[in-house]
Amino acid sequence: MQERVESQSLGNEIRDKVVSEVSRFVVGREKETEILLTCLIARGHVLLEGPPGVSKTLLANTFSRCLGLEFKRVQFTPDILPLDIIGGFVFNLKDREFEFRKGPVFTNILLADELNRAPPKVQSALLESMQERQVSVEGHTEKFPFPFMVIATQNPLEFAGVYPLPEGQLDRFMVKLNFKYPSVAAEASILERNLSDIEISEVKTVLTRDQLEELVKQVSQVKVSPEVLAYVAKVAEATRTVASLALGASPRAMVQLLHCSRAKALLAGRDFVTPDDIKEIAIDVLTHRLTIDRTAVTSGRSGNPSDILMSILDRVEPPR
Amino acid sequence: MVAFAVSSQLVTLAVLLALDALLYFTLASALLSRRGRRVNAKNLAEAFKALEAALKQAVPDLPDGFTWGEALERLRSAGVETDGMENALKGYERYRYGGRPLPDVDYHEVVMVANLLGGVGARKGGISILGQ
């Protein structure tokens, strides 16, 4: 019992430390930082969507540095090959045999920049390895280090030369975060901070690997009451019956929502999930998995999945 | 003539007495009804049940899917002091969602706000300040 209380306060303490350290370098992205940490301990991956220059890469870089984790960045282009990401066998002239050379995916945090620029074959190779947390090439299987998290970015405004991720692939991301332009106050603060040089190497490590492992272990021990489970099931059912959506949330999506909520509860210093945890994270976890019914849009109903999901969440009564 | 004057005074007295009785009856029933609406919670769980009922009645634009976090945020934005309620809510959530025994925490502020909202039988739209 004492151990459990300690790990709850550890979650709370680590969340505050990480958010505070990242905010020294990235202005106005406290909520996004917290969600990245939530996803990391829930063993999920994150898709960041937003126009260029809104600190997506800076956030990913700062975040991994303050956790003391290895970070690699891959810029996706239309001519990239699966082997460039996952690695492959190369002939070693000295030993006169083939040996497996690991690709950049073998890291703790991989920033997959502009993922939608890569051809479907590469996207598929990366997304499959994300799911399995290992790579298999010609019968040789290599596991990824712990922890492993992909932070992918895509620019929603580009249409030429891009390969949009299909629904099935989007489903592999636990969370999709929409990066908007900063507020006027945040923008002023960014400008002021950039008057002096920002040295990313000054980011302090605020978490040990043991602490991280402990947090990941504790997530699966966070309690979810039967009433909260029933509430999640009711939300799922509502997404499948609402007229504006052609495709509602899948059972896999709801499992991810629940897992993410458990991580969120742990970071809030609790060992149980509340309906507030579910509601606060639902938009980020579910929106990219919903498919709008185009006929509903033409008949004048809302075509924005997050608006539709919000109205569902406002309708479904949680246990109080 | 004298008999007529006496009887008219008696009629006036009777009418006044009847009006008096009606007035007292109305006041007494209003008081009793108000007393009946007042929250009388015996524990933390009952206090939050009463608050839920009061919120549903007094804040009609609060959506069916409201959570305790959202309700408290709404009260805060209306200028209601919620520090004591937040502490009580932490204990209530541990009991309600965490499967712990009902804690012995101070819940008088929860009851007070439920009463402020009009008690358990509050009329719809009872507290206008909570409207957005």
Q: Is the dihedral of CA A18, A19, A23, A29 positive or negative?
A: positive
d(CA B130, CA B118) in angstroms, rounded, equals 12
Indicate the average pLDDT of chain A.
88
Q: Give how far Cα A140 sits from Cα of A100, A123, A257, B24, Å.
A: 8, 21, 33, 93
Give the pLDDT of chain B (132 residues) as one tens digit per residue. 666 677 888 888 888 888 888 887 776 666 555 555 676 888 999 999 999 999 998 888 899 999 999 999 999 988 888 888 999 999 999 999 999 999 989 999 999 899 888 765 544 444 444 443
Interface test with chain A among B48, B62, B67, by most A beta carbons within 10 Å:
B67
Q: What pLDDT does B128 receive? A: 42
Average pLDDT, stretch A204-224?
Answer: 92
Q: How far is A97 from chain B, CA to nearest CA, in Å?
A: 58
Last residue of a domain, one of A168, A191, A213: A213
- Return the residue of A nearest to B94 by Cα: A272
Question: In 3-state terms, what secondary structure has residue A182?
Answer: coil
DSSP-derived 3-state class of residue A74? strand
- Contact flag A274-B64 (C-beta cutoff 8 Å): no
Tens digits of per-residue pLDDT, B35-44? 556 768 889 9
Tell whether A309 is covered by a domain.
Answer: yes
Closest by CA to B55, choosing from B40, B72, B38, B43, is B72
Q: For A266-290, what is each residue's pLDDT tens digit?
A: 999 999 999 999 999 999 999 999 9
Q: What is the CATH number of the domain that holds A246?
A: 1.10.8.80
Taking contacts as CB-CB distances below 8 angstroms, the residues of chain B near A314 are: 63-66
The answer to whether residues A277 and A264 touch, using CB atoms and an 8 Å cutoff, is yes
Which chain B residue is nearest to residue A223, measuring alpha carbons?
A: B98
pLDDT at B126: 43
Confidence class of residue A220 from pLDDT cuts 50, 70 and 90? very high
Which tens digit of pLDDT belongs to each residue from A76-134?
998 999 889 999 888 888 888 888 889 999 999 999 998 888 888 888 888 888 888 98
Residues A57, A71 contacting (CB under 8 angstroms): no
Model confidence at A5: pLDDT above 60: no
Q: Three-class SS of residue B47?
A: helix
* Shared-domain flag, residues A142 and A90: yes
Within-domain flag for A262: yes
Both structure tokens of B123: 């009329």
Strand duo A97-102 + A87-92: pairing: antiparallel
Residue in chain B nearest A225 by alpha carbon: B97
Q: Of residues A8 and A202, which shows the higher confidence score?
A: A202
**What pLDDT is stored for residue B127 in this prediction?**
45
A109 vs A86: CA distance, rounded Å: 14
User: Measured in Å, how far apart are chain A's first and last C-alpha atoms?
Assistant: 26
CA A205 to chain centre: 21
Q: Are residue A248 and residue A195 in the same domain, yes or no?
A: no
Nearest CA in chain B to A313: B65
The residues pairing with A150 across neighbouring beta strands, listed in sequence order, are A110
Same structural domain, A192 and A58: yes
- Give the per-residue pLDDT at B48: 93
**Interface test with chain A among B49, B97, B100, by most A beta carbons within 10 Å:** B97
* Final residue before a domain boundary, out of A213, A246, A263: A213
Which residues on A lie below 8 Å from B66 (Cβ)? 314, 318
Range of the domain at A252: 222-315
Alpha-carbon distance of A285 to A261, in angstroms, equals 10
Residue B126 φ then ψ, to 5°: -60, -35
Give pLDDT, residue A180: 84
Task: Find the CB nearest B97 among A225, A279, A315.
Answer: A225
Which chain B residues are closer than 8 Å to A280 by Cβ?
69
Residues in chain B within 8 Å Cβ distance of A231: none
Statement: residue A201 has pLDDT above 90: no
Q: Is residue A320 part of a domain?
A: no
Nearest chain A residue (CA) to B98: A272
The tokens of A23 are what? 């905010």
Residue at which a domain ends, from A185, A213, A241: A213
Decide if A223 and B69 are in contact by the 8 Å CB cutoff. Answer: no
Residue A264 located in a structural domain: yes
A74-88, A199-213, A219-233, range with greatest mean pLDDT: A219-233
What pairs with residue A142 in β-bridges? A135
Rounded Cα distance between B58 and B131, Å, is 9
Which candidate from A270, A272, A279 shows the least CB-CB separation from B67? A279
